């Protein structure tokens, strides 16, 4: 009788092991991450082998826009993406009834007021025109930067979601040209001589480093939300896959890469 019980036990255990193996598909070890701009793909390539050593197969999906990576993440076709800051994410969530979440800030893109002709904010003449981006998120960021520079103040001390209508005081009577697409800022800057821009666009004018940066955005509790980040879903943010990504993305190796290769445009956020 004992032999029969032992044989049955071995059989049940064998079936259980086979059953588990058949359900352990290759997809269970895949980590699918969406990216849209430099240097996110390069960061993932930097940690690809480390993830492989832990048994994960990293799949990098490149996109030319910001909407698709969020839609695919929301639809569980991606595990995470690295395309946006938290303010953009919250706007997407509100518009799409989604529950995507920021799980790890990666870097702060340097945002600045550029000037072709002046050495300090105080030198800006009254009535000058400043070129600003036209999209809601970056317009708000640009206005907040001008507030940091003490060129504007805002009603009710508002700090996010800023529009031209939120301006309370404009001591220099600045003319704010807020109808310029982000990708056209550099071209308009050649005409206005004053514009808020990211280094990527300034670089298209062969402006390197701090060249012509009149005032650089200061990091505070508001601008922390502009850090480009790793984003996941509420239902997978604590998964082993996402934790593995966070662990390697915040490594000393990645931090040094950002310092060595991308300090002209960003500061590490970890």
Q: What are the chain's domains?
A: 29-109+225-268 (3.40.190.10), 112-216 (3.40.190.10)
For the stretch 2-19, pLDDT in tens is 444 444 443 433 333 334
Q: Residue 4's pLDDT is what?
A: 43
Structure-block tokens of residue 29: 């070890």
- Sign of the torsion formed by the C-alpha atoms of 140, 143, 149 and 153: negative
Q: Answer yes or no: are the C-beta atoms of 114 and 161 closer than 8 Å.
A: no
pTM, entire model: 0.85
Q: Answer yes or no: are the C-beta atoms of 167 and 143 closer than 8 Å.
A: yes
Q: Answer yes or no: are the C-beta atoms of 86 and 229 closer than 8 Å.
A: yes
For the stretch 225-241, pLDDT in tens is 999 999 999 999 999 99
Top pLDDT among 15 and 123 is at 123
Judge whether residue 21 has pLDDT over 60: no
Mean pLDDT throughout 234-262?
98
Q: Residue 25's pLDDT is what?
A: 61
Please give the distance of CA 47 from its chain centroid, rounded to a whole number.
18
For the stretch 24-67, pLDDT in tens is 566 789 999 999 999 999 999 999 999 999 999 999 999 999 99
Structure-block tokens of residue 257: 């890469």
DSSP at 234: T
Backbone torsions φ then ψ of 247, nearest 5 degrees: -60, -45
Whole-number Å distance between alpha carbons of 70 and 247: 22
Top pLDDT among 21 and 237 is at 237
């Amino acid at each position: 009788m004992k032999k029969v019980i032992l044989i049955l036990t071995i059989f049940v255990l064998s079936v259980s092991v086979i059953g588990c193996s058949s359900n352990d598909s290759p997809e269970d070890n895949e980590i699918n991450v969406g990216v849209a701009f430099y240097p996110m793909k390069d960061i993932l390539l930097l940690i690809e082998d480390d993830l492989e050593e832990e048994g994960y197969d990293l799949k990098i999906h490149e996109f030319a826009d910001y909407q698709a990576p969020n839609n695919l993440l929301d639809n569980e076709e991606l595990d995470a993406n690295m395309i946006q800051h938290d303010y953009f994410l919250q706007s997407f969530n509100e518009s799409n009834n989604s529950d995507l979440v920021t799980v790890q800030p990666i870097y702060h893109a340097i945002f600045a007021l550029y000037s072709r002709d002046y050495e300090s904010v105080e030198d800006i003449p009254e009535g000058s025109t400043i070129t600003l981006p036209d999209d809601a998120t970056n317009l708000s960021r640009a206005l907040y930067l001008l507030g940091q520079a003490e060129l504007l103040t805002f009603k009710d001390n508002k700090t996010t979601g800023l529009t031209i209508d939120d301006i309370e005081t404009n001591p220099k009577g600045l003319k704010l040209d807020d109808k310029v697409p982000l990708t056209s800022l550099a071209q308009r800057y050649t005409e206005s001589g004053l514009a808020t821009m990211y280094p990527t666009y300034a670089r298209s004018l062969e402006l390197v480093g701090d060249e012509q940066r009149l005032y650089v955005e200061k990091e505070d509790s508001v601008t922390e939300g502009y850090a480009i980040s790793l984003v996941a879903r509420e239902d997978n943010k604590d998964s082993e896959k996402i934790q593995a990504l966070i662990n390697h993305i915040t490594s000393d190796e990645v931090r040094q890469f950002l310092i060595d290769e991308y300090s002209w445009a960003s500061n590490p956020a970890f």
